Amino acid sequence: MDDHSDTEVFELDRATWDRLVEHAWSDHPYEVCGLLGIQPDGTIEHFPIDNAERSMTYYVMEPTQLLRAMRQIEDEGWRLGIYHSHPHTHAYPSATDIRLAAYPEATYVIVTLQDRDRPGIRAFAIRDGEVAEKRLVVRDDRAA
């Protein structure tokens, strides 16, 4: 069902980009996390989830919020996106991120605030310990 070509594309609408960056800043300098429900038409439902550890270097999604969001994503049949922020480092999965990546079908999204003036977002597939970057395309839906 998924296309695992060399360069997968992940589309993000501008509003979701803005919400992810805003969420990343909302608890800076701590990591934030959440889920994305990716609908068949490309619309993205954003589920911010508390980082139960409130750590600057890793995240643990609050279990009740995580379960509620996962149930909705699964019940709706949406594709799964998992995101978190790297407040002080570049947007690339850490060894911990790779080790804990339990959903090979998911798109893993990392928001970086390393350059305070230019937050960045990158998307990855993580399967069997292997990381493959997806080409991130940001749609500006306001031009519709």
pLDDT at 140 (0 to 100): 84
Query: Any alpha helices (H) in the chain, and if so which ranges?
Result: 14-26, 63-76, 95-99
Mean pLDDT of 14-39: 97
pLDDT at 142 (0 to 100): 53
Q: Which two tokens stand for residue 101?
A: 């990546």
Contact call for residues 52 and 65 (beta carbons, < 8 A) = no
**What is the number of other CB atoms lying within 10 angstroms of the CB of residue 108?**
22
pLDDT in tens, 94-135: 999 999 999 999 999 999 999 989 999 999 999 999 999 999
User: What integer best gives the mean pLDDT of the chain?
Assistant: 93
Contact call for residues 138 and 17 (beta carbons, < 8 A) = yes
Architecture of the structural domain at 16-139: 3-Layer(aba) Sandwich (3.40)
pTM (two decimals) = 0.92
Q: In this structure, are strands 107-112 and 79-86 parallel, antiparallel, or unpaired?
A: parallel
So where are the chain's domains?
A: 16-139
Per-residue burial over 37-66, b if 16 or more Cβ lie within 10 Å, else e, is: bbeeeeebbbbbbbbeeeeeeebbbeeebb
Q: Which two tokens stand for residue 5?
A: 């070509």
